[in-house]
Chains A and B, each alone.
Chain A
């Protein structure tokens, strides 16, 4: 599945390019920013001018500088949350799908209970209780995403496990670990990868939503979600301070999502 033909899928190309562009912007941004994110260099809600193309925000920070420095947090946090959920959920899901009835039912049921908490509510609950340290937010978002991965991994593993090549491997006397890692895991990877892309999209939405509600990255640090929250009051006076971060969040979410769609489409095409 990682052959060169992947790049022939237009959605993968487009999604990859958009995602890459935003990642580069976020990573290199802090060096390119004309001012520090916390420097007050202009008037409150100052309009766009030659020096500040997007104007100033509610405290007179330069919007462009805050945009350039505010991407890293949301990127690494959504990436880390999706990755942790992927690993944890895949492990539990494979364990459930390939184990005996009891353990399978126990894990499936655990995921069911877990899923009764709507993602955002679960994250809000935990973050409001334990605080808003970035790693804590990452862990809670990952925990909210995990049951979905468990279900997906379990379902795919069950479907793969009943196919003939697995049976053949069993007959050849391969160990369970080998069958699991060499026969089953590669075959459930594609749906999981698609899900990973979707989780990135949701993660960006959820993290920026958390910042927007005031539970995310603490001010005065720059963060796209936080910028929307801070500058909401000046929406009519200086819309750019809200629109620009919203646009960047939207573009990144779009990129990861198109990438996921492309991978799904590519693997569906390959199966035909």
Chain B
């Protein structure tokens, strides 16, 4: 039996954790598929009637129900639906008769571009604002910036969006298009100006949380013992900020970005509707109004699976960014409140007497 030698062949220590975490994510995804399926079953409308219209005779509705497989037991319906989903087939939209997967795919890129744009704006901005405020803690600038951030945080996101529409639809301010009527024949990259206002609105509403998070974790890191030790050793201040504190302050920020993305997806729906931006959110909105069951199922499934994937990615990044976790033999699930699992009633009996 060959010796497991050569460091280059050794598996990284966090791999078992990651496999476990991946399994957890897949389990979550499965439960979500169950929830989405059951939820849309509860819709008080009959797909057959939606397709044929309210005046259709009862017999043809019965025939169509038979054809659509709506008379089968619910468990069979779920299993066949799940099988189709796993093959990338999300069904046929009742409203437009097109495959749901195709409709979602066409819109998905637009929403992804929107969210990506927001992250590109917010993350560097939040980092620089958070770090510079933490370094000038309790100064006048810090206090003013904090009040401004709190004000921004309190304003509901869709009001910000409406405010921007109002501002830019005034003739004096027509530098940017107030609504995003994209030309479907052109590629998104050729009409980026339509992205600017939605990105601005969403960035403004998600900036305060992240900036304050970075500020708080920077302050916590700056007050820690290893920073005092580094200062005593005479390490220059810029090095303390860039090499010692910032990497540690980044870890909560990664989880913060994951949480922000989750709220952003909800906010993006409103923003897309307000700016009439053709993304997945406007699609969901019309699908709900049309009671287009397969389309609702598909969109909600894609969005929630996206959130699961984002959380997985954030956890992986957290482990990779934290040396303590990266090399640990055993890592349990990461608690997003950064406190370990501990059972109260049967705690290890044991502190020194």
* A159–chain B nearest beta-carbon distance, Å: 6
CB of B269 closer than 8 Å to a CB of A: yes
Asked whether any CB of chain A lies closer than 8 Å to the CB of B62, the reply is no
Majority SS at the chain A contact face: helix
A246: interface (CB < 8 Å): yes
Tell me which of A22-30, A34-42, A47-55, A96-104 binds B: A96-104
Q: How far apart are the CA atoms of A83 and B339 in the complex, in Å?
A: 26
Q: How far is the CA of A151 from the CA of B158 in the complex (A)?
A: 27
Which chain B residues (333-352) contact chain A, with CB distance < 8 Å?
Answer: 333, 335-337, 339-347
Q: Quick one: which of A123-179 are within 8 Å of B by CB?
A: 124-126, 128-130, 151-152, 154-155, 157-159, 161-162, 166, 176
State A109–B27 Cα separation when bound (angstroms). Answer: 10
The residue that A257 contacts in the complex, of B35, B154, B340, B343, with Cβ under 8 A, is: B154
Most buried by A among B158, B159, B300: B159
- Closest-by-CB residue of A relative to B309 is A116
B113 contacts the other chain (CB 8 A): no
A124-B288, A161-B344 as given contacts; A254 in contact with B154, CB under 8 Å = yes
Please report the C-alpha to C-alpha distance between residue A236 and residue B270 in the assembled complex, in whole angstroms.
Answer: 21
A213 touches B156 (CB 8 A): no
Query: Is there an interface contact between B284 and A116, defined as CB atoms closer than 8 Å?
Result: no
Is B32 in contact with A116, judged by CB distance below 8 angstroms?
yes
B345 neighbours in A (Cβ, 8 Å)? 98-100, 176
Q: How far is the CA of A253 from the CA of B169 in the complex (A)?
A: 26
The smallest beta-carbon distance between B182 and chain A, in angstroms, is 20
Q: Are A121 and B300 in contact (CB under 8 A)?
A: yes
In the complex, are the beta carbons of B266 and A254 less than 8 A apart?
A: no
Q: Chain A residues near B335 (CB, 8 Å)?
A: 155
* Contacting residue for B344 out of A126, A162, A249, A250, CB 8 A: A162
CA distance A105 to B24 in the complex (A): 12
Q: Which of A1-9, A58-66, A84-92, A203-211 contacts its partner? A: A203-211
Q: How far is the CB of A164 from chain B (nearest CB, A)?
A: 10
Query: Any chain B CB within 8 A of the CB of A193?
Result: no
Give the distance in Å from the alpha carbon of A99 to the alpha carbon of B343 in the complex: 7
Q: A212 interface residue, CB < 8 Å from B? A: yes
C-beta contact mask, B26-49 vs A, less than 8 Å → 1, else 0? 001001100100011011100000
Asked if B156 contacts A205 (CB within 8 A), the reply is yes
The verdict on B110 contacting chain A, using a C-beta distance below 8 Å, is no
Contact A120 B266 (CB under 8 A): yes
B134-173 contacts to A, CB under 8 A, are 150-151, 153-159, 162-163, 165-166, 169-170
Interface status of A113 (Cβ within 8 A of chain B): yes
> Are B166 and A235 within 8 A (Cβ)?
yes
Would A254 and B151 be within 8 Å (CB), given that A100-B343, A120-B269 are in contact? yes
Given contacts A124-B284, A205-B157, contact A100 B43 (CB under 8 A): no
- What is the bound-complex CA distance between A166 and B162, given in angstroms? 50
The closest CB in chain A to the CB of B287 belongs to A128
How far is B163's CA from A128's CA once the two chains are assembled, in angstroms? 27
Task: Kindly state whether residue A81 has any CB partner on chain B within 8 Å.
Answer: no
Name the one of A104, A161, A201 contacting B154, with C-beta atoms under 8 angstroms.
Answer: A201
Closest partner residue, chain B, to A261 (CB atom)? B150
Verify B300–A125 contact, CB threshold 8 A: yes
Give the docked Cα–Cα distance between A259 and B260 (Å). Answer: 23
A162 to B343, CA, bound (A): 9
Q: How far apart are the CA atoms of A125 and B339 in the complex, in Å?
A: 33
8 closest residue pairs by CB, A with B: A205-B156, A120-B266, A155-B337, A257-B154, A161-B344, A118-B266, A254-B154, A128-B288
A-B contact pairs, 22 of them (CB 8 A): A104-B341, A109-B24, A115-B307, A116-B308, A116-B311, A117-B32, A117-B307, A118-B307, A119-B266, A121-B269, A121-B303, A124-B269, A124-B288, A155-B337, A162-B344, A204-B156, A205-B159, A209-B156, A232-B162, A242-B166, A249-B159, A257-B150
